[in-house]
Each structure stands twice: as C-alpha cells, then as structure tokens.
Chain A
Amino acid sequence: MNTGSLQHFFAMGGYADYLWPAYAVFFIVLFVDFLAPQLRRRRLLRELRGRLARKAARQPRQAPTPTEPV
C-alpha cells in the first residue's frame, strides 16, 4: 500500500483533528449503546437462574434437584 496516500488520507486536508474525533464519537457512543443492553441481559438471566435455583432448592425437601444453569 502506498503509505504516502494513506498518510494523506489520515491527514484529511488538515482537518484531521476535528474529523477523526467526530467519527470516533459516533462509533464509541453507538458501541456503548449496543453493549449496555447485552450486559444487562446477561446480568438479568444470571439473576433469574439464581432465583430459580434457590426456589427449586427450597421446595422438595426429600431430593432437591436444582436446575443446572447452562
């Protein structure tokens, strides 16, 4: 690859200091927006599984078979 043209590309006619942070904000904010619900979902399922396991452990006194979380 022609490093001269790559450098020229990144320089963006001298406006690199404004352009690239703008694009960075775009990608970072949308990435966080995408990631946050994933984390929430994982936490939610973990809590739910824990609650179910505790409930199953409480109920049959004879032979408690807690559901194995996947």
Chain B
Amino acid sequence: MSKWIPLWLHKLSSPPTFYRFAGALRPWLLALALLTGAIALYGGLVLAPADYQQGDAYRIIFIHVPSAWMSLFIYGVMGFAAFLALVWRIKLAEVVAMESAPIGAAFTFITLVTGSLWGKPMWGTWWTWDARLTSELVLLFLYLGVIGLYHAFEDRRQGARAAAFLALIGIINVPIVHFSVNWWNTLHQGSTIRLLGPSTIAPGMLWPLLTMMLATKFYYLASLFGRVRTDLLDLESGKDWVRTIATGGTLQ
C-alpha cells in the first residue's frame, strides 16, 4: 500500500502534521467561505431578477439547493473516509468520517426546513412525500444513526469503526429509498406534487447558485478542519505534541 501512496499524503495522516496543516489552512478557508458567500448572496438577493412564476420566493433556492447538494456530498465524503477507516484503520480517516456526520446532518436539516418554507407559499403545503424530500428525511435519520452509534461506544475508535460500517450500509440505502418512493408515488395518485425549480434558470440566477455551492464547500472544509483538530487533541491527549499545545507552545 505504501508504494503507491505519496509520502506527503502518508505524512499528512499523522495527527500532529494534520493538526498543523489544517490549522494553517482553516482561516483561509473560512475567509473564502464568507467572501464567496457574501458575493453569492448579493447576486441572489439583490441582483438576480424575480422569477416569472414564483416572484421573489424562489430566492430560497440559493440556500436550499447548495444545502441539499452538501448533504449528499458530505455523505459521500463520509462514506469514502469510512471505507478508508474500515479497510486500513487510518485514525485520521475515522476522525474525518465521524466529524463530517454532524455537519452533514446540519445541512440536511437546513435542506428540509428551507424546502418546507419554500413549499408552503408555492404549493400550499409544508410537507410532501415526494421522492426527493422523503429521501432527504431518511438521509437525516442515517446521519443521526451514525452519530448515535458512534457515541454509544466506550472505546472511541471502535465506535468510529462501527459507525463507519453503518454509514457504508446507509450509502446503499439512499438511492434505494429514492427509487422505492418514486414507485410508491405512482401507486398512490393524488399526493404527488413535483417540486420544481424556478421556471427557467436565467444566468442571473445560475451564477449566485454556483457561487453559493462553492461557499458551502469552503465552509464544510473550514468546519471539518476545526472539528478534526479538536478531536485529534482529544484522541491523542496523552501524547507529547498535545501537551505542547495545551501549555501554549507551538508545534515543530
């Protein structure tokens, strides 16, 4: 394995190295997130024209769609890290997987709430059991299950491996749920409300959306790095490098 993994990547998986690396990068990521976020919001709320059909209500998509995308993207990252954690027992992969879960759950929650707040004025209902919303709800439960299982173990590393296993099982489940809810909607007519975007995606609406997608990615990395650093301090609390940091020193 060590033959085809570059040395710097191998070094990066060492906790103190990653701690320094993430610590150096994090302020920049945060700044980028805030900057691109501000640009995206200005573009979406001020510059973009009102939608032909939905008026100003469609502007919720500038936070709803990026959040939905992130909820799925983070689950993918979590699954990949979980795979690494289970197969090669890399401590950093375990931490990345476990600390991605709360961030992913946050974005999933935002997706559901903003979707609900968009649905009410547009289609008159707070909730609908269409495939996308239902899959999103199941995704939230998957995240919560992973978080809950992780915290049920005394041994944190064992808990991380068990929760990683659960995450991998869950990954297979999401597309299956999506498919089965689609089928179920064809069976029970009359309850299908297709959630659509604005009538057309004008360029004035597209670039703020894409910019916000970028902003949320930067934010995810910034938040993840912060969480992973804290978790590494906890896991390695007996080690020398943690002691150096606790007493105010700097890492070599």
Contacts and interface: CB of A to CB of B under 8 A. Distances in A.
Q: Do chains A and B touch in the complex (CB under 8 A)?
A: yes
A52 B55 contact: no
B219 interface: yes
A25 interface: yes
A13 B50 contact: yes
Contacts of B247: 49, 52, 67, 69-70
Interface residues of B, number: 38
Nearest to A39: B230
Nearest to A8: B56
Contact of A22 (B60, B106, B109, B248): B60
A70 to B, nearest CB: 3
**A14, A19, A41, A52 — which one has the most chain B CB atoms within 10 A of its CB?**
A19
B246 interface: yes
Contact of B56 (A19, A36, A41, A44): A19
Contact of A52 (B67, B114, B219, B243): B243
Interface in A4-53: 9, 12-15, 18-19, 21-23, 25-26, 29-30, 32-34, 36-38, 40-41, 44-45, 48-49, 52
A46 B133 CA distance: 42
Contacts of A69: 247-248
B140 interface: no
Nearest to A16: B56
A38 to B, nearest CB: 7
B113 interface: yes
Given A26-B110, A70-B248, A44 B233 contact: yes
Given A30-B219, A33-B106, A41 B233 contact: yes
B227 interface: yes
Interface of A (DSSP majority class): helix
Contacts of B121: 15, 18
Interface in B99-116: 102-103, 106, 109-110, 113-114
A22 B67 CA distance: 12
Contacts of A26: 63, 67, 110, 114
Interface in B152-177: none
A45 B236 CA distance: 12
Contacts of A23: 60, 63
Contacts of A30: 106, 110, 219, 223
A52 to B, nearest CB: 6
Interface of B: 45-46, 50, 55-57, 59-60, 63-64, 67, 102-103, 106, 109-110, 113-114, 117-118, 120-121, 219, 222-223, 226-227, 229-230, 233-234, 237, 242-243, 245-248
Given A26-B110, A41-B229, 5 more contacts: A13-B55, A15-B57, A22-B117, A45-B233, A67-B247
18 contacts: A12-B56, A13-B56, A14-B56, A15-B56, A18-B121, A19-B57, A22-B114, A33-B103, A33-B106, A37-B223, A37-B230, A40-B230, A41-B229, A45-B233, A48-B233, A48-B237, A52-B243, A69-B248
